[in-house]
A and B are shown apart, each in its own frame.
Chain A
Amino acid sequence: MESAQRLDHNSELTLLEFPFIIRWREDRCSRCGRCTAVCPTRAIEASVMTQRLVRSEGDTPLPSTVRRVSHVVRQVNDIDRQCVGCGTCSLVCPNMAIMPEYNPNHKFLFHKNRGGVPYARGGRRNDPATSTLDKLKFTRISMLTDPSLDAGRHEFHIRTLMGRNLPAESLPLERSGDLLSLKPNGFIPPVREIFPIRIGGMSIGALSPPMWEGLAMGVAYLNEVENIPVVMCSGEGGLPRRLLKSRYLKYFIPQIASGYFGWDEIIHALPEMIEEPAAIEIKYGQGAKPGDGGLLMAYKVLKLIAKIRGVPMYVDLASPPTHQTKYSIEEAVAKMIQSVSMAWGFRVPVYPKISGTKTALAVLNNLARNPYAAALTIDGEDGATGAAYNVSMDKMGHPIASNLRDCYLELVKQGKQNELPLFAAGGVGKEANLAANAASLILLGASGVDIGKYIMQAAAECYGDERNRCNLCNLGRCPRGITTQDPRLYRRLDADRVAQRVVDVFKSAEMELKKIFAPMGRSTQLPIGMSDGLGVGDQAIAERLSISYVC
């Protein structure tokens, strides 16, 4: 209904509906415009304010009025331009005059579906509560009982095996004299010795060029200078030809997923590869948005991405939740592992990644029977993503701790716990306790963990948190330049500095892992599944994870 009068405030939202409220201090503002120039959502803008003051200046009441019209910085109450609390305004403000403030009473989700479009965003599950991983503690500290080690003085070898690790008696070897040789047609699965914290799959496209290259360079540095063999998964967006052809490829895990983006380039590069990749990850699911596919929004599909992925520019790129050629678990997983293994002559470990789910055991049992399955990665609900519907992120998924634990105990039952490594992901380092979370998962049975969001926060100052701060990854407007393809934004990010921070993070995580493992007397072998080292002050969690309850 059209109003005859100017619409007043009918149907307008108050700022109290919004998740972040801008605190602007007129007394400090110099009206320099820096805040409004950088606001990624244009949530603030310059405006005009009229004030009327009644003054009395004499020694008796003698009123006079003053009118003052001034320019102000105002928060917009348009739901499509809501303040996301990133705080870039306060970053650039020379006078500390502006700052977003979290509004715990917001009612933002009631409104964020204009045009019938559900709210989509980046980031991870918005749940600031302490995760199970962060409730676990290491309660076995040996001083006199076991040989306790000193992280500062003893030598450690924090490594894990990625690949199927056959027991000695199962190796297809025969002995002739003092020599061991491979039996005819024998197959020894490829295994890589790596650092137990990997950088999980984040695609070129989801990440900006300097972010992806910064991570890649940091990984190369860690391997070549620091002797920490960190590997990194490409995510599903291909790899640049230059990397495919370089000697650094051995530190990377190309990911193949239902969109198959960039895979023709990988196959074309096969004859030119001077190194083989660390492994190949087949993505079936993502913990942050189980059952929901990957999606690279059109805003991010610019020239570079179109080239690498082999797609038109400015189109939404869906990586469907299912592979079109997948008909049953038996058949689908086996044929994917076979095909991809063949590309590198069965010399590269190939493993699937699934999202945390109650059905993980079914997948695991399938893999346990498949001699070519190198590992299983399970990605729990606290994982992050560049773009998904809020409902998928907030309400779907399975926590990693019990999912991983169930799988490990199942392997123990089958006697295969040392054979098929499990990698755990999803919320590792959610509250910044990277090494502790990684160690907890290792003690619960993981051979290693993947990180994603953590490295963005630590290496590139990503603003995101569990109160929905920023989370604009899907829109390509990342104010840090991490998840955008807009050169005006990504050129804010220094790839060399990202690499430096990646190095810092892994060096310090390695030291923290030593600090955790040393009192357990472990310096050369990871305490995978050493769950008697764990305790938790929550009876239910203790029971569910079969670890000790401590209080």
Chain B
Amino acid sequence: MKIAGNIDGKRVSSRELEEKIQAAVDGGAYELEIEAQGQHGIGGRIWPQHAPVKIRARGPIGQRLGAMGMMGTEIVAEYGASDDVGWLNCGAKITVLGDVTNGAHNAGAQGILYVQGSGGARCDTMTKHNPRFEPLQSWYFRDVGDSFAEFKAGGISVVCGVNPRHPENVLGYRPCVGMVGGTVYFRGRTEGYSDKDVQLLELSDQDWEWLRENIEPFLAAIDRLDYLSELTRAAADWRKLIAYTPAEKKQRSGQRLSTWEFRRSHWEPAVGRGGIFGEMIDQPFTLLPFITTGQDRRFKPVWNNEKQLPPCVAVCPSDIPSHRRFQLLRQGKRQEALDLVLQYSPLAATVCGELCPNICMKACSRKTMDRPLDIKGLGRASRDLTPPRPEAATGKKVAVIGAGPAGLSAAWQLMLKGHAVSLYESGDRLGGRLWQSVDKGKVEKDILEEDLTRISASAIEINLNTTVDQKLYQKLRQENDALVIACGAQGKDDRGLAYLGTAVHHKGGKILVNHQGQTNDLQVFAAGDVVSRGLPTHVIGGGRRAALALHALLTDSQYHPESRPTIPYAELKLEYFAFQRGECPTAHGTVTTPLVGPILPREESRPTPESEAQRCISCGFCRDCHICENTCPYDAISRRDLGNGEFEYMVDPARCIGCGFCAGTCPCGIWEMAENI
């Protein structure tokens, strides 16, 4: 049956032609000859009922010949065909005895396309393979245009490469981009295929068998059987392109040159070993973890024992180390604890125990918890003390003028340092104005006497009833290596200091001294009320400081007055000492006691030195509690016994990570985290 695309010189529209074809097939026609005149979609969408429907099309054929073609439809285009031949082909067999232009078999899924000539651009793109049917086949006798088989997902394409337009590249520019399935067989050369998507392989025996079996019908259909022997000469003439599997693609993408390899192969050969900074950096180039030890820590713990002063010592004019006395008490060394005070003051019982306003207690850290330690009690307990042994004799002679608290303090300290001390007092007893306190009932007479007796029994040469006049002063000045003037408060008219003549500067009854108690005569020091009035506490401290400065002068050493900083409260961990209420009365009338920890006392119990020693926080002074040793997560801290009750805590840098848990949990504020330089 013939169907014309042009009737009486008038072109039949694509719609009308399609209606005629469909009506003819419905009427039982199975061989159609169509004279086309550019009609679209000829031969598609035909569902043959019984026998195959054969369509021969000639004339100018429009786009999409055989589009949506169905199984059982056989189409032959007698000359060439234009774009999109076999578009969305679902089974038609289409033979084009000429060239096809762009987009042949685009989105095709089943069926066969035989092309006697070449394909245009974007042929065999988006082709599919539905497992219900045989795979689609596209055969091109010559070659194909650019962008061939893009996004191909299935089906077989064969490009025979006979008389190609571009012998160097029979598959056109950049074929197989995005191809994920199917096979492309081709004969000849290709370049620039998408090697990220597909791989180029030799044909297997099965490929070759399939090709030889199927090429004959193709060549027969396009009337080129004379090429059979040439095309089936050798499998080696052919190649195939197949898509990488997703797994293969993933593996291949991981094969890129690592930057580590780039460093080795490109970078360092050009810039030098160790990279661009290699010659300027001494550090190793290895990576460090975030958590480091040894030299690589940012901070390191330092056991700063006694590097800061407890408040009690910081405020004491005589620097009496109450914290050390409590430590000795905790160690059970009561006598040593009490005797220790004599290193700092010869009048402990009188002053610390009675006359001193005990500013140490006002400063005591413990007051923030409950009440300050009873340091006055420690003074009161300082009876029957064992006098300390003076240091080896220095051969230096010092005279001290005045046996009041300042003079006694200075003479005592100088004596302890091994100097030959002679004390001159115009009165008939030691103690000076301390006796006024006895008269006023502020201190028991026997307490003062005990302290004074100990001084009298010492190596100090005591000259009572000896008024120092100008003559004696000059004699003392000449016979001694140095003098300490502690002659007490003088009238403003300076008459009391007339014996000094012009040798020592003074004004308004006060001797002028520097901060160490030194006068303009560098060998003469002054202390006590003759320098400035103060409590016995302060003049004892002043006497001691002058004596220690003088000692430094006599021994060519340096006197460093106590200048360590006071430990801030924030560095102490008072939480360890936090008390809680004691017994809990209950409805049953029973009383339970707390399970752990110090109890808030209901009644003031009588403090003893021993009980106070337990309450002492030991500010800035290691109380040897082992908290740090136990806290350290890395077992980096250990305690070393130095003998004689001395000890130290040490850090193993190989274990320590510088976390600061030791510093953060130390009750006494000893550990400090220092820059690890």
Contacts and interface: CB of A to CB of B under 8 A. Distances in A.
A37 B636 CA distance: 14
Interface residues on A, range: 35 or more
A64 B595 contact: yes
A212 B331 CA distance: 59
Nearest to B582: A65
Given A69-B575, A71-B665, A247-B270, A496 B263 contact: yes
Contact of B262 (A155, A217, A488): A217
Contacts of B271: 242-243, 246, 248
A60 B587 CA distance: 9
Contacts of A347: none
A71 B290 contact: no
6 contacts: A153-B151, A303-B280, A303-B282, A488-B298, A491-B288, A494-B287
B368 A47 contact: no
Contacts of A492: 287-290
Given A220-B266, A247-B270, A497-B259, A308 B664 contact: no
Contacts of A491: 283-288, 296
A36 B257 contact: no
A100 B291 CA distance: 19
B575 A49 contact: yes
Contact of A153 (B178, B256, B263): B178
Interface string B635-677: 0000000000000000000000111110111010000010000
Given A304-B281, A307-B280, A33 B584 contact: no
A37 B291 contact: yes
B279 interface: yes
B596 A33 contact: no
Given A6-B569, A488-B298, A69 B576 contact: yes
Contacts of A5: 368
A31 B278 contact: no
A52 interface: yes
Given A69-B597, A217-B275, A500-B259, 4 more contacts: A48-B575, A71-B661, A91-B290, A221-B262
Given A71-B665, A240-B276, A240-B277, A65 B588 contact: no
Interface residues of B, number: 74
A153 B596 CA distance: 77
Interface string B287-320: 1111110001111000000000000000000000
Contact of A31 (B298, B593, B633): B633
Contacts of A48: 573, 575-576, 664-665, 667
Contacts of B569: 6-7
Interface in A288-312: 303-304, 307-308
Interface string B533-564: 00000000000000000000000000000000
A175 interface: no
A224 B276 contact: no
Nearest to A37: B659
Contacts of A489: 298
B657 A37 contact: yes
A492 to B, nearest CB: 6
B258 interface: yes
Nearest to B634: A33
A7 B280 CA distance: 50
A499 interface: yes
Contacts of B597: 67, 69
B297 A488 contact: yes
A67 B594 CA distance: 7
A218 B259 contact: yes
A225 interface: yes
B665 A47 contact: yes
A65 B594 contact: yes
Contacts of A213: 275-277
A-B complex: 10 closest residue pairs judged by Cβ atoms:
A33-B659, A46-B664, A67-B597, A491-B288, A499-B259, A37-B659, A48-B575, A46-B661, A64-B592, A50-B578
A246 B270 CA distance: 6
A36 B298 CA distance: 11
Interface of A: 4-7, 30-34, 36-38, 42, 45-50, 52, 54, 60-69, 71, 74, 88, 91-92, 152-153, 155, 209, 213, 216-218, 220-221, 224-225, 239-243, 246-248, 303-304, 307-308, 486-489, 491-497, 499-500, 503
B435 interface: no
Nearest to A218: B259
B251 interface: no
A45 B660 contact: yes
Contacts of A33: 633-634, 657, 659-661
Contacts of A66: 594-596
B581 A243 contact: no
A304 to B, nearest CB: 5
B277 A38 contact: no
Contacts of B580: 52, 65, 67
A491 B594 CA distance: 52
A218 B258 CA distance: 11
A496 B279 contact: no
A494 B587 CA distance: 68
Contacts of A246: 270-271, 276
Contacts of A92: 290-291
A69 B276 contact: no
Contacts of B573: 47-48
Nearest to B587: A61
Contact of A36 (B174, B266, B287, B660): B660
Nearest to A61: B587
A30 B174 CA distance: 61
Contact of A68 (B367, B581, B596): B596
Contact of A242 (B258, B276, B284, B289): B276
B260 interface: yes
A31 B262 CA distance: 42
A499 B298 CA distance: 27
Contacts of B578: 50, 67, 69
Nearest to A60: B587
A349 B667 CA distance: 66
Interface string B344-371: 0000000000000000001001011000
B596 A46 contact: no
A220 B271 CA distance: 12
A67 B278 contact: no
Given A33-B659, A34-B657, A308 B280 contact: yes
A174 B631 CA distance: 85
Contact of A46 (B281, B283, B660): B660
B217 interface: no
B135 to A, nearest CB: 23
B177 to A, nearest CB: 5
Contacts of A247: 270
B272 interface: yes
B260 to A, nearest CB: 5
B629 interface: no
B47 interface: no
B502 interface: no
A493 B288 CA distance: 8
A37 B660 contact: yes
A15 to B, nearest CB: 16
B478 interface: no
B150 interface: yes
Interface in B586-640: 586-588, 592-597, 631, 633-634
A548 to B, nearest CB: 34
B277 A36 contact: no
Given A34-B659, A92-B291, A242 B272 contact: yes
A426 B107 CA distance: 47
Contacts of A152: 177-178
B267 interface: yes
B196 to A, nearest CB: 11
Nearest to A8: B368
Nearest to A49: B575
Given A48-B575, A499-B259, A243 B663 contact: no
A38 B272 contact: no
